Structure 1
């Protein structure tokens, strides 16, 4: 349905006059100290970007700049539209101009879309998934034994939405954009830690103790609300606008791993754990 609407819209050459009245962009407010502290990486979490034997590909989604026509249509909508796929489709639209087209009337159905995502909470979980354990038995030793992190096997860490919802791919993109902007952390719905990845930080196991070095992949827990609606392009003479009907909202959450970072927990135990 969306593909056919795109083909129809791209081929439509009407005779309309564009508008140049666009809303000014909002002024970005500085982050509070509480927000900065919330996403501050703790000392137990280290970057493994240089050491990772598996080269992860960044999943950052570039901000799509709307065309002049897209800006006009987006500003006319009765519901906020942030879906980058819908904006891309509008950017590909070509509508001609003609001052005598005052008689023209048309309504084009563009399909049902996930229109926007509103973030309610963005929280880090530094121990989202355990990916490795390094162990040494120093119960027979006379002095400290030093161990450090070495990834024993390749580990794939996946995130995802917490529920099945329509247009899940579009929703994931909007949630990733929102969580990345809020946390300022490198996020991806899938990241890999390669076998043989290591760090030089040393952990001392006292004599008569068992040493466990646990490694975790951190992630962001994103929660919010996605808004859906049926999108129509309405053309009346020189006027063009987007009208959204049958608007619904749904709560949704997602886990989004933090790329190329690892969280470490060291335990010197008397008994096996």
Structure 2
């Protein structure tokens, strides 16, 4: 009898030991953030990186890694800090501790900064700006006529913020990083399609019809909120911390072209358009 009681008691201990761990694991799996889903690109949008006669510079924007001191300062702030330029400046900051710092107190004003950008919506406009039109009149023809895309003139496509905000360049960097992360697409506030850029895909214009092959530069419409604040570096004894004052938030949007991509629209008509 004692043997059975001992086995039952041991089993109860094992259940109490493993059940919470299993539940915790399930909870962690549920609370884990899902990676952002990339935007699905329609078949009408083609990548022209190899064919583009104008080599656009790649927008390589790696996430800046904060130093150990910078990470401590960021963690001490009650407001999230994501601005790469502010992180870079903090990385260059050196504060030496001394055992005789008891009672020492100093506050250094680092200026007003855009601290972070919170994205609310990242949506594509596949026909953001028309960049080219290829045309042929086959109204006098007796057989289909084939045309393909040829960029007739160099076209510069620019995006930008939808409103004026302080420190606009810092805000654009944060919005670009967030939009690239969410969309999974190569983005830049300026992209160029060079003259003579071609694609071999054929479009057939029937007899007695006019054919129009339109090329559009696609873009991402990014919307969200940027948070500003006055940044202070506080030194109190051996402690170092960031204090943010006068925090404000502002809604902001931006158009960001998709680099080296063209959306094609083919239209057949009986009359000139």
TM-score bucket of the superposed structures, by smaller chain: 0.7 to 0.9
Per the TM alignment, residue 61 of structure 1 is displaced from its structure 2 partner at its CA by: 1.5
**Contact 1:60-1:177 at 8 Å conserved across structures:** no
Gaps of 5+ in 1: 1-25
Gaps of 5+ in 2: 1-30
Q: Deviation per CA, 1:211-240, whole angstroms, max 9, x where unpaired?
A: 000000000000000000000001000111
Aligned to 1:43: 43
Aligned to 1:177: 177
Distance 2:102 2:185 in 1: 51
Are 1:29 and 2:30 an aligned pair? no
Q: Deviation per CA, 1:166-215, whole angstroms, max 9, x where unpaired?
A: 00000000000000000000000000000000000000000000000000
Aligned to 2:14: none
Per the TM alignment, residue 87 of structure 1 is displaced from its structure 2 partner at its CA by: 0.3
Are 1:205 and 2:205 an aligned pair? yes
Are 1:221 and 2:221 an aligned pair? yes
Give the secondary structure class of the aligned counterpart of 2:187: coil
Per the TM alignment, residue 27 of structure 1 is displaced from its structure 2 partner at its CA by: 5.5
Distance 2:235 2:176 in 1: 34
Aligned to 1:95: 95
Are 1:71 and 2:63 an aligned pair? no
Structure number, greater radius of gyration: 2
Number of residue pairs the alignment of both structures matches = 243
Distance 1:170 1:107 in 2: 24
Give the secondary structure class of the aligned counterpart of 1:126: strand
Aligned to 2:262: 262
Aligned to 2:85: 85
Are 1:136 and 2:136 an aligned pair? yes
Instruction: State TM-score, norm by structure 1.
Output: 0.87
Aligned to 1:193: 193
Relative to its length, the structure with more helix (as a share) is: 2
Per the TM alignment, residue 28 of structure 1 is displaced from its structure 2 partner at its CA by: 4.9
Per the TM alignment, residue 252 of structure 1 is displaced from its structure 2 partner at its CA by: 0.3
Change (3 A) 1:27 1:57: farther
Instruction: State TM-score, norm by structure 2.
Output: 0.87
Aligned to 1:22: none
CA RMSD across the alignment: 1.1
Q: Deviation per CA, 1:57-116, whole angstroms, max 9, x where unpaired?
A: 012321000000000000000111100000000000011122221221100000000000
**Contact 1:60-1:188 at 8 Å conserved across structures:** no
Aligned to 1:14: none
